[in-house]
A and B are shown apart, each in its own frame.
Chain A
Amino acid sequence: MSCGNPEGAVEGEEKEEVLMPTSRPVRRVDKAICNRCKKAKTSFIFRQGAYCSPCYEISLRSRFIRQLHPPLRPGAVKSTLTLYRPVVQSGQALIAVSGGAGSVAMLDMLMSRGYISRSDGAATNRTKGQKEAVWDKATVVYVEFASVTGRDERTEDIRKLSEDRGLGFIGLKVEDVYDAGLVSWLGGSERNADTSGVKVNFQQPNLPVSQEPTTSNTTPVERLQSLLASLPPASRPSLLSHILDHLLTLAALTLPNVSQLLLGETATRLAQRVISGTALGRGWTLPLELSNSFTLPDSQIVRMKPMKEISVKEAALWCRIHGLETVNYRGWDDVGPKGKEGRAKGGAASLEALTEQFIAGLSTTHPSTVSTINRTGDKLVFPGDTSGPICPLCEMPTEPDAMRWKARTALTSLTDPHSSLGSPTIAGIHTGDSTHDNFAPTLCYACLTTLSGGATDRTTGDGMVNLPPWVGQRVSTSQRMVAREQMREEIADFLLATEEE
């Protein structure tokens, strides 16, 4: 008896019974003819399947619909989710467009398939095969990063892309996070006190914060550049990603009657997020970040990722076929002044860039890399409670005891260098006391790692750097909550017991 491959058996010998063949029969496909229609000449190869151009578009659309429909029909039976078009939504769609292949292809598919009402107000003619629109109105939101990347602005290109399709357009800039009037500009009302004067000291492991009057004459761009410069190059893409998420969420919450926020994040980007997110310590909230249907905190707005099953290669080809101009390169890895830190292979300074190179390289020899990673990512389940404490920076739920984890896995400070041994020991971070003035205890593990990258030689002067107002606002809120809890503990002996007790 053998579990080997019978092909290798010597001729003439008695063939043994094979329990576990070591090689599976490989399905040979003719790459010259489309695998789907079996007629036309092949144009593209995806995951070892070869398609002609029309079949490729059909395949792409079906996978798009498979992710688009379910969040819009939450109560529907699973088997009918993708068959029928969802009913007209009560609110408008906010479509985040970066100008890259994923978001531009998503916008084009939404418009070409009539998911959004035509701007001329013409009624749907079902006798001509037209389908009812799902959204009566949609707005495109774009965030410009030119001030920190140094690249050409693309706001006008995206505005034209939107307006040519009869959509509304909101153009934001990354430095707008420091603009106190942003909410008013978006049409909302300011609800909170001015928190633009909250500063943090990156030189201390506990990241102490202080509230200072906003007497500085620095512009929002200068404040943002100062914040980026104070962080190590490896942490900057993470911070920019949080700023982008915050601006998109803010626009969705502030603009009138938004019911869905649509992101064009492709399967390739999601696979990179799985790997780099895990490496950055973001495993706790990763399932929420990967989800196709995530309800934004304190609202009914659903964040969707309908391009979840489509690779960036497929999206780029869609744009090529339909003559849509895209710029995929955003260059967050090169933002800010160059530090003393070395760069990895390929010139990558951050885990995000390194992961991108790794997946792109591996995909050339293993075409199923992206789908394999994403299948693993889809199995992740968020173990916590979304109504719990929120990290001020990434605005996602905070895992319990992030400080203890950090103290156990990293050297955060050294003991007295003049001690007899003179060797480093794990001093840890203060985990239980004096959280009034510290930023670190309010952060999730990943953001704590991002911000505590050793900024001692980057900050100048007193080492204090302005935090974006939304972060300062959340820090103030969490500090007030901590203060209330501590006050309750201090006066616990004097509190009257309730009837239940």
Chain B
Amino acid sequence: MAATVATVMTTMNPEVTSNGLGYVGKTEVEASGSSSTIVKKEEELEILIEFGGGLHLLFSQKPKHTIHIPCQIPQSDLPEAPDMRYLVRWLKENLLSERPEMFGEGDSVRPGILVLINDADWELEGELEYLLKDGDEVVFISTLHGG
């Protein structure tokens, strides 16, 4: 699975136990799978992830993350480059602390969450079909206020 291949580099405070919504965040080791390596490998892409509008509360209270994902989707029959669909799934499986329904819906993100790819609306880039490149910056901003 991606969790064993990809790594995540965050600077989480180990003393933080609540993310502000009353949930306990995962530790760094849990978030990065079995590996805690933070050096990018050749066969990996480095993606900058940023959460805004309060969405960071679901991601260990850290608004910025640098993640490394494989250049090709693992366990795939064809050599496919990772796209936004893969990234959203990867974030849900590896970085999301709690309440997955607050972030994702189906393959995509929940309606009401804006996504910017390199400071451009992801609708212009093909949304879930956008193929990620090394050094891409992906921003998720929640506009939902929950009642």
Contacts and interface: CB of A to CB of B under 8 A. Distances in A.
Interface of A: 31-32, 42-45, 50, 53, 100-101, 150-152, 237, 268-269, 312-313, 316-317, 319-320, 325-335, 346-350, 352-353, 356-357, 360-361, 363-364
Contact of A360 (B20, B111, B124): B111
Contacts, number: 104
Interface stretch (B40-48, B86-94, B139-147): B139-147
B143 A268 contact: yes
A119 to B, nearest CB: 28
Contact of A44 (B21, B101, B121, B142): B121
Contacts of B114: 313, 316-317
Which are the 3 A-B pairs with shortest beta-carbon distances?
A: A333-B147, A360-B112, A327-B54
A326 B110 CA distance: 19
Contacts of A353: 146-147
- Most chain B beta-carbon contacts within 10 A, residue among A100, A150, A312, A319: A312
Given A31-B124, A43-B120, A356-B112, A150 B147 contact: no
Interface string B122-144: 01100000000000000101111
Given A151-B20, A360-B111, A361-B111, A329 B144 contact: yes
B53 A101 contact: yes
B147 A330 contact: yes
Contacts of A237: 147
- Most chain A beta-carbon contacts within 10 A, residue among B54, B141, B143: B143
B124 A331 contact: no
B96 interface: no
Interface of B: 20-22, 52-55, 57, 101, 110-112, 114, 116, 119-121, 123-124, 139, 141-147
A412 to B, nearest CB: 26
B147 A332 contact: yes
A150 B22 CA distance: 7
- Most chain A beta-carbon contacts within 10 A, residue among B20, B116, B139: B20
B101 A100 contact: no
B111 A357 contact: yes
Contacts of B20: 151-152
Contacts of B145: 100, 269, 328-332, 356
- Most chain A beta-carbon contacts within 10 A, residue among B112, B116, B119: B112
20 contacts: A42-B124, A43-B120, A45-B123, A100-B145, A150-B22, A152-B20, A237-B147, A312-B143, A313-B143, A316-B52, A317-B114, A317-B141, A320-B116, A330-B147, A332-B147, A353-B146, A360-B112, A361-B111, A363-B111, A364-B111
